[in-house]
Structure formats: structure tokens, C-alpha cells
Amino acid sequence: MSTLTAVLILVAAVAALLAAAFVLRARKGTGSGTRSLKRRFGPEYDRTLERHGGDSESAHHDLRERAERYGGIRTLPLEPSVREHYAAQWTMLQERFVDAPRQAVADADELLSRIAATRGFPEPDRPDEQLAALSVHHPHHVEGLRTVRRAMHSKSASTEELREALVHARALFEGLTATGSPTGTGAAARTRAASGRNRGHLLKPKGSGA
């Protein structure tokens, strides 16, 4: 074997090793990025991935763009009296559900949007931006607002579907009116527990079964 041939073989071997190392680092980085996004967005990660037809690259771009655009929002505090006022309004719309389920769901959408704006999120007249911002700060609960809006705009939504939408939205209401940081598994657990406690408080409409 000539010296030139040996050198060429050595160069090819080194190039192959470098390429393998690059691929390994890229895969490791992708895996780490996926874990980080899943940890930050929780169920919102899976919903976004589904919305992008399973295309993880597009889903990751979407989530990172949202985090970059809205992650810097500083949640404004709520005065105790304002929080109590919102709580009273939520109780009233739940009671209103007995006689006017669809109106109660519309009221829930309006109230949640107004509270979100009060806390420093985009205004209600920018609903898509508001949802995107909430998905960054309340990834465990934002689906409740989407559910309410889908039910409100669906002419075929049954009374039970409207009720479930309102129950589902309770977690976001609790998250938006809670004190402290809105993100994290601890906050998610607290609002899920609160939602469960209040599930029975949402009265069924007249004429429905037990």
C-alpha cells in the first residue's frame, strides 16, 4: 500500500468519525430540546404537535416562537377586592347556566378574556394573541378557554357539552386569579384540585337528569 493510499484512508476514517460525532451531537441536542419544551409546555406540547400533524420541527418552531414573543410578559397582580369580584362573577355565571347554558358559556369566555387582560396579557380584541400568550404562561389550563370558545361557536353543542366546557374552563379561571407564579406543576396541581372541588357546584340545567 502506498503512502498516499494510507493517507487517504486515514483522512476518510477521520471524516467518518467527525460526521458520526456531529450526528450524535445533533440528536442529543434535539432530544434535549424536546424534553425542555415538553417540561415547559406540558399538555400544550402534545396539542401543538398534533396541530402540526406530528411534525416535531414545525411544532418546536411554533412553541419557541411563542415563548420568545410572550415569555417576557410580567403577570400583573390582582387586588384582593378585584379577585373577590371576579370570583363572584364566576359564581353568578355558573348559576345562570341553569336557565341559559349557552349564555353562561359566552359569559365565561368574556370574563376569562377580561381577567387575562387585567393580568397583563393581550386584550380581548386580539383573541389569537391572547391564547398564544396564555399558552406560554398557563400551558396546563389554556385549553379550557379554547374549549369554551369552541362550544360557544358550535350551534350543535349539547347542553352537556356546554356544561363540560364551563367545568373545564374553571381551571384557567383559578390559574388567572391565583396569587404567585402561574406556571409549574405545583400550580397545575392546585388548580386541578380546585376545579375538582367546584365541579359539583355547576348546576345542571332544568329538565336534565341527575
Q: Which residues contact 158 (CB under 8 A, 6 or more apart)?
A: none
CB 63 within 8 A of CB 48: yes
Spatial CA neighbour of 137 closest among 120, 124, 112, 150: 120
CB 97 within 8 A of CB 202: yes
As a whole number of angstroms, the distance between CA 101 and CA 208 comes to 12
CB 163 within 8 A of CB 153: no
Model pLDDT, residue 15: 57
Q: Is 55 helix (H, G, I), strand (E, B) or coil?
A: coil
Model pLDDT, residue 187: 42
Model pLDDT, residue 198: 44
Model pLDDT, residue 111: 98
Model's pTM, two decimal places? Answer: 0.71
Write out the chain's pLDDT in tens, 210 residues: 666 565 455 655 555 555 544 444 544 444 557 888 889 899 999 999 999 999 999 999 999 999 999 999 999 999 999 999 999 999 999 999 999 999 999 999 999 999 999 999 999 999 999 999 999 999 999 999 999 999 999 999 999 999 999 999 999 999 999 975 444 444 444 444 444 444 444 555 444 443
Model pLDDT, residue 191: 40
As a whole number of angstroms, the distance between CA 204 and CA 27 comes to 51
Model pLDDT, residue 190: 41
From residue 155, how far is each of 53, 77, 205 by CA, in Å?
27, 37, 18
Model pLDDT, residue 179: 76
How many other C-beta atoms can be found within 10 angstroms of the C-beta atom of residue 133? 21
